[in-house]
C-alpha cells in the first residue's frame, strides 16, 4: 500500500505551540507558510498525518513538558493511529537535536530556531515518504533571526496579537540558556514592525502585545540607541489600534523618556512586565544581573510617580546556587516593600552550557520547593491588597471570550496581560458584546485571590 500523498491538501498537519508568546508567533508563521503552500492545517492531532511540536527548552519544567508532548503525539503514530511523521522545532530542538533523534525514535525531523522557514521543504520531503521509514532530518545550524517572519501571518488569537520586535538576548545571566538557543539580541527593523502592525489593525484587532527577550533594548544595535519610545510613538499612530502593551523589559531599560511616553500616550498600557529574578544584591551579582535592589527601588518609584495606576508584573527565581536563608529572606522583605501587582516564580534548574550549571553550593530540591511555595503565599497576599485598590474604579476592557458557564464575558483591562495574568469577569445588562470589543466597566468585586468581577456602564 502506498501512503504517499498525491495532493498537498490531502496532507493534514497539526501544529502545537509550547512555551512563551515568542514561540506562538513562530508557530503562527509556520502555519501560514504551510497553508500558503497548499497543505491542510488542522487542529486535531489524532487525525493528522504530520504533527509539528514547537518546543521550549528554557528550564527543566519546560523540557519535561516538551518531552511529554512528544510522547503523547507518538501514541497516535502509525500503526496505532493516523500520524505518520513527527517534527520537533524550536528551543528544545536547538539544544538537544541528537538526543531527540536518538532517544525519541518516533521523531522524524528536528528544526532549530534559525530553521522555521524550512518547514515547507521538510514537510514536502516527509510527506513524499509516508510509505517508508524516512531518513532523519536535522536542521539546527545557526540560531534565531527574522527571516521566517511573515507580515500577513494568520493569527491564532482573536482579541489581540503578539508582535515580535526582537530576537535573542544581549544579557548573559548565569542561569539562562536563551543566548545559546536564540543567539545575541537583534532588533527587527522598525518599518517591518509597523507594516505588520498595520495589517493586524486592518483585520480589526485592536490590541498589540510587544514581545522580545528584552523589549527595552529594542534598537540598541540596529539604531545605536534604545528605540522603544520611538516605536511606541509610531505604533500609536496606526488607525484602529487602541492598546499597546510592553512585555519583558529590564529595569535598567526603563528610562525616563520611556516612562514619559507611557504616561502621556493614551494608547500605551500603564503596564510593565519586568523580570527582576531576585531581591538580594549578593544573589543578583552571582546571577550576572545588572540590577541592584537600589536600582529596582528607584525605578519603581519613577514608574509609580509618573503612572500611579501602573500595574507591574515581575518574575523571580528561588534556589539559585549559594542562596542562603538570609538571601531568601531579603528577597521576601524586598517583595513586601516593592509590592508588585503580579509575580511569577521559577525554581532554579542547572542548564548545560550556563555559568550556573556546575556552580558550588547547589540547593536541594526540598528547600527549593519550600521557598517557591513561600513566595507564592506571600505574593497571594500582596496581589490581593493591590487588587483591592481597583475596587469601584472604571476601566476599559478588551472582551476576549465567554465564561464556561455562559454567564459572564471574560475580558482584560490595561492591567491584565494575556496568558499570564488574571481576568475580569463582566456582566453586561445591555447589548451583546463581541470578541475584541473594548467596553467601559466598573469593577465591583475583588474578593477572589486574583480574578475580578465588573459590570458594564
Q: How does pLDDT run across 146-191, given as a tens digit for each residue?
A: 889 999 999 999 999 999 999 999 999 999 999 999 999 999 999 9
Q: What is the pLDDT of residue 360?
A: 96
CA distance 159 to 217: 27
Shared domain for 91 and 225, answered yes or no, is: no
Percentage with pLDDT > 70 across the chain: 98
Q: What is the pLDDT of residue 374?
A: 98
Contact yes or no for 190/227 (Cβ under 8 A): yes
Per the domain annotation, does 340 fall within a domain? yes
Residues 6+ away with beta carbon under 8 Å from 412:
397, 398, 400, 418, 421, 423, 424
CA distance 63 to 414: 32
| Residue 231 parent element (H or E) | helix 228-236
Q: What is the pLDDT of residue 6?
A: 63
**Number of domains, the chain:** 3
CA distance 341 to 250: 17
Shared domain for 317 and 237, answered yes or no, is: yes
Q: By C-alpha distance, which of 108, 18, 26, 25 is closest to 63?
A: 18
pLDDT of residue 251 exceeding 60, the answer is yes
CA distance 49 to 167: 31
Q: What is the pLDDT of residue 4?
A: 55
Shared domain for 197 and 334, answered yes or no, is: yes
Per the domain annotation, does 153 fall within a domain? no
Q: How confident is the model at residue 2 (pLDDT cuts 50, 70, 90)?
A: very low
Shared domain for 222 and 347, answered yes or no, is: yes
**The three cell numbers locating residue 76:** 497516535
Residues 6+ away with beta carbon under 8 Å from 366:
none
Q: What is the mean pLDDT of residues 30-34?
A: 97
Shared domain for 239 and 291, answered yes or no, is: yes
Per the domain annotation, does 423 fall within a domain? yes
Helices (H), 42-186: 60-74, 91-95, 97-103, 119-127, 178-182
Residue 9: Cβ within 10 Å count? 10
Shared domain for 281 and 428, answered yes or no, is: no
| Residue 325 parent element (H or E) | helix 325-338
The greatest distance separating any two alpha carbons of the chain, rounded to the nearest whole angstrom, comes to 71
Per the domain annotation, does 71 fall within a domain? yes
Per the domain annotation, does 400 fall within a domain? yes
Summarised one tens digit per residue, pLDDT across range 112-137 is 999 999 999 999 999 998 978 889 99
The number of CA neighbours under 13 Å toward the Cβ of 295 is 17
Summarised one tens digit per residue, pLDDT across range 253-299 is 999 999 999 999 999 999 999 999 999 999 999 999 999 999 999 99
For cell 513586601, the residue is 336
Q: By C-alpha distance, which of 279, 249, 282 is closest to 417?
A: 249
Which residues constitute the domain of residue 408? Answer: 394-456
Domain boundary among 388, 415, 441: 388
CA distance 413 to 373: 28
pTM for this structure?
0.93
Contact yes or no for 113/181 (Cβ under 8 A): yes
Shared domain for 92 and 183, answered yes or no, is: no
Per the domain annotation, does 150 fall within a domain? no
CA distance 340 to 386: 8
* CATH number of the domain enclosing 399: 2.40.50.140
Burial of 282 (0-12, 13-18, 19+ CB in 10 A): middle
Shared domain for 378 and 415, answered yes or no, is: no
Full DSSP string of 28-54: HHHHHHHHHTT-EEES-GGG-SEEEEE
| Rg value, the chain, Cα | 23
Summarised one tens digit per residue, pLDDT across range 223-232 is 999 999 999 9
Domain boundary among 342, 367, 388: 388
Shared domain for 350 and 405, answered yes or no, is: no
Summarised one tens digit per residue, pLDDT across range 401-415 is 999 998 999 999 999
Shared domain for 308 and 271, answered yes or no, is: yes
Q: How confident is the model at residue 145 (pLDDT cuts 50, 70, 90)?
A: confident
| 3 state SS of 145 | coil
Per the domain annotation, does 360 fall within a domain? yes
Q: Chain-wide mean pLDDT for the chain?
A: 95
Q: By C-alpha distance, which of 50, 44, 53, 42 is closest to 16?
A: 53
Least confidently predicted of 1-15, 326-340, 382-396:
1-15
Residue 192 has φ and ψ, to the nearest 5°, of: -70, -40
Residues 6+ away with beta carbon under 8 Å from 125:
134, 137
Shared domain for 169 and 291, answered yes or no, is: yes
Contact yes or no for 5/130 (Cβ under 8 A): yes
* CATH number of the domain enclosing 365: 3.80.30.20
Residue 233 has φ and ψ, to the nearest 5°, of: -60, -45
Domain boundary among 104, 139, 174: 139
Per the domain annotation, does 2 fall within a domain? no
Summarised one tens digit per residue, pLDDT across range 309-358 is 999 999 999 999 999 999 999 999 999 999 999 999 999 999 999 999 99
**The three cell numbers locating residue 438:** 473594548
Q: How confident is the model at residue 1 (pLDDT cuts 50, 70, 90)?
A: very low
CA distance 334 to 322: 19
Q: By C-alpha distance, which of 194, 205, 188 is closest to 235?
A: 194
CA distance 353 to 66: 20
* CATH number of the domain enclosing 117: 3.40.50.12160
| Residue 337 parent element (H or E) | helix 325-338
C-alpha pair distances (Å), 60 with each of 174, 295, 314: 15, 30, 20
Shared domain for 431 and 328, answered yes or no, is: no
Amino acid at each position: 500500500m502506498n501512503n504517499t500523498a498525491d495532493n498537498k491538501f490531502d496532507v493534514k498537519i497539526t501544529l502545537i505551540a509550547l512555551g512563551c508568546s515568542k514561540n506562538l508567533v513562530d508557530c503562527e508563521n509556520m502555519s501560514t507558510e504551510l497553508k500558503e503552500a497548499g497543505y491542510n492545517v488542522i487542529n486535531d492531532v489524532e487525525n493528522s498525518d504530520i504533527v509539528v511540536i514547537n518546543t521550549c527548552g528554557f528550564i527543566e519544567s519546560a523540557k519535561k513538558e516538551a518531552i511529554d508532548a512528544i510522547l503523547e503525539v507518538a501514541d497516535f503514530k502509525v500503526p496505532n493511529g493516523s500520524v505518520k511523521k513527527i517534527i520537533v522545532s524550536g528551543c528544545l530542538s536547538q539544544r538537544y537535536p541528537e538526543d531527540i533523534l536518538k532517544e525519541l525514535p518516533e521523531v522524524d525531523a528536528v528544526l532549530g530556531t534559525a530553521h522555521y522557514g524550512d518547514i515547507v521543504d521538510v514537510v514536502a520531503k516527509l510527506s513524499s515518504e509516508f510509505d517508508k521509514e524516512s531518513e532523519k532530518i536535522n536542521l539546527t545550524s545557526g540560531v534565531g533571526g527574522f527571516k521566517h517572519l511573515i507580515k500577513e501571518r494568520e493569527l491564532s488569537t482573536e482579541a489581540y496579537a503578539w508582535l515580535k520586535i526582537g530576537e535573542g538576548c544581549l544579557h548573559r545571566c548565569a542561569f539562562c540558556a536563551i543566548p545559546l538557543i536564540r543567539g545575541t539580541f537583534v532588533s527587527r527593523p522598525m518599518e517591518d514592525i509597523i507594516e505588520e502592525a498595520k495589517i493586524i489593525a486592518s483585520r480589526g484587532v485592536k490590541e498589540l502585545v510587544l514581545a522580545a527577550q528584552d523589549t527595552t533594548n529594542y534598537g540598541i544595535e540596529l539604531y545605536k540607541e534604545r528605540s522603544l519610545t520611538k516605536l511606541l510613538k509610531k505604533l500609536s499612530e496606526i488607525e484602529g489600534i487602541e492598546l499597546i502593551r510592553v512585555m519583558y523589559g529590564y529595569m535598567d531599560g526603563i528610562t525616563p523618556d520611556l516612562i514619559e511616553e507611557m504616561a502621556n500616550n493614551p494608547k500605551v498600557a500603564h503596564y510593565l512586565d519586568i523580570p527582576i529574578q531576585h531581591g538580594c544584591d549578593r544573589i543578583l551579582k552571582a546571577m550576572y544581573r545588572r540590577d541592584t535592589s537600589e536600582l529596582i527601588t528607584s525605578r519603581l518609584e519613577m514608574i509609580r510617580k509618573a503612572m500611579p495606576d501602573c500595574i507591574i508584573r515581575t518574575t523571580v527565581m528561588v534556589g539559585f546556587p549559594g542562596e542562603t536563608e538570609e538571601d531568601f529572606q531579603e528577597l521576601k522583605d524586598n517583595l513586601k516593600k516593592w509590592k508588585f501587582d503580579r509575580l511569577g516564580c521559577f525554581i532554579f534548574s542547572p542548564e548545560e552550557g550556563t555559568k550556573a550549571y556546575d556552580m558550588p553550593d547547589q540547593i536541594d530540591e526540598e528547600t527549593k520547593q519550600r521557598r517557591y511555595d513561600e513566595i507564592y503565599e506571600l505574593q497571594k497576599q500582596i496581589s490581593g491588597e493591590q487588587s483591592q485598590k481597583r475596587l469601584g474604579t472604571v476601566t476599559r476592557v478588551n472582551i476576549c471570550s465567554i465564561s464556561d458557564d455562559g454567564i459572564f464575558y471574560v475580558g482584560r483591562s490595561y492591567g491584565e496581560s494575556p496568558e499570564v495574568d488574571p481576568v475580569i469577569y463582566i456582566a453586561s445588562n445591555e447589548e451583546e458584546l463581541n470578541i475584541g470589543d473594548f467596553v467601559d466597566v466598573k469593577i465591583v468585586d475583588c474578593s477572589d485571590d486574583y480574578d475580578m468581577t465588573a459590570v458594564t456602564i
